[in-house]
Amino acid sequence: MRPARLAVPALVASALLALGSTTATAAASDQSDAKKGAQTGAQTGAKDARTLSLTATSRDDVALAGASTAAAAAALTTARLSGADRYATSVAISKAHFAPPQEYVIVASGQNFPDALGAGPFGALVQAPLLLVPQTGKLPSSVAAELKRLKTKDVIVVGGPGSVSDGMVRQIEAQSTSGLSYQFAGANRYDTAAQLTDVFEVPLTDVPVYLSSGTTFPDALGGGAAAALDGGFLLLTAPTKLPAETATALRRVKPSNVVVLGGTGAISGSVLTAVRNVVGSGVPVTRIGGTDRYDTAAKVSAATLTSANEVFLANGLQYPDALSGSAVAPAFGGRPVLLTRKDCVPAATRAEIARLGATKITALGGAAMVSDAALKLKAC
């Protein structure tokens, strides 16, 4: 079942800017007054008559911070949002940002990335946490407990049975107060991402679209957070051909601009040409690509935020923790998701942290994903 048309506030981030900063761990979050008050904005649903009208974040260029990256690192405070596994980490992120009752909770696969990529920005739009689950087997106890804690009314499952099995969906539904779930399950990964754009009141205004490869995830990690920060959607494409489902979604959304994530090795020039033909000459279509996934995430951050007090740091070789973080990127003034290796931080990431003027680094995931040395910005 799919939800009735949704309407969300004019600017999702506007309800989040004054919330403070995340707590270091889920346990600390449970005890903090900030957690109790950090419901990410008023919940909206099918009965809300407001129209989606999003304003893109300023993209003014900013000079590099005067201090060196080494000096900036010395002044930083650090925190970590993590659990025993990727599922518990998604719960830790939820606990640090959401208080009950929660009208919607988004659920996506923690094992199959294609259907899950668009779930983070979608969660930001409907102001809902993103929890991860395995495809089959038993619903993780941490996720079940979080659904109960949030007094979840309705669950929105992103992905079909190949990502989240029918048996898993039934276990999820049992934890909601309505006992029901909505599911977005397209014919393929491109269709699933496109369906997430088709549930909002029209007309849409000033809504950007971020376009990422549907065959690899690295560029979508920082890009998904940027889409969330920008109040936009994340759509997927094949490397050399724009899928019909994505083209249809672009025509329906009528985006204010399109940001293509990654270099020509990820998304070819022919796809950009196809996108321009679909959206028309009046809609800017730009590419943001770096020398590698770390540089791309840094460049995406630079194009999205002029500054940030806090930065999320996630492992660039795994998708789950960054995905969960992207859903809450707009909170607490806006936080990019930057990428790191497990034990050291690439130069591009360190430079972007310095440029942003961040004073806090929050690792997403345990030390097996982002080591304590990396959290302290040890250079590669």
The answer to whether the bond into 101 is cis (omega within 30° of 0) is: yes
pTM over 0.75: yes
The mean per-residue pLDDT over the stretch 29-56 comes to: 29
Q: Where are the domains of the chain?
A: 54-368
Alpha-carbon torsion, ordered 159, 264, 56, 108, to 10 deg: 10
* pLDDT over 50 at 280, yes or no: yes
- Mean pLDDT of the region 12-41: 30
Task: Give the per-residue SS3 of 153-191.
Answer: CEEEEECCCCCCCHHHHHHHHCCCCCCCEEEECCCCHHH
Mean pLDDT of the region 311-336: 96
205 contacts 54 by C-beta, under 8 angstroms? yes
Is the model more confident about 285 or about 21? 285
The pLDDT assigned to 73 comes to 58
In the predicted model, what is the mean pLDDT of residues 218-230?
Answer: 96
Question: Which residue type occupies 139?
Answer: L
Q: Has residue 82 got a pLDDT over 70?
A: yes
In terms of Cα–Cα distance, which of 88, 86, 95 is closest to 26? Answer: 95
DSSP for residue 236: E
Spatial neighbors of 5 by CB under 8 A, at least 6 apart, are 46, 199, 200, 201
pLDDT confidence bin for 203, thresholds 50/70/90: confident
Alpha helices (runs of H) in the chain, residue ranges in sequence order: 26-31, 33-37, 69-74, 86-95, 113-116, 119-125, 141-149, 166-173, 189-195, 218-229, 244-253, 269-279, 293-304, 320-326, 347-356, 372-375
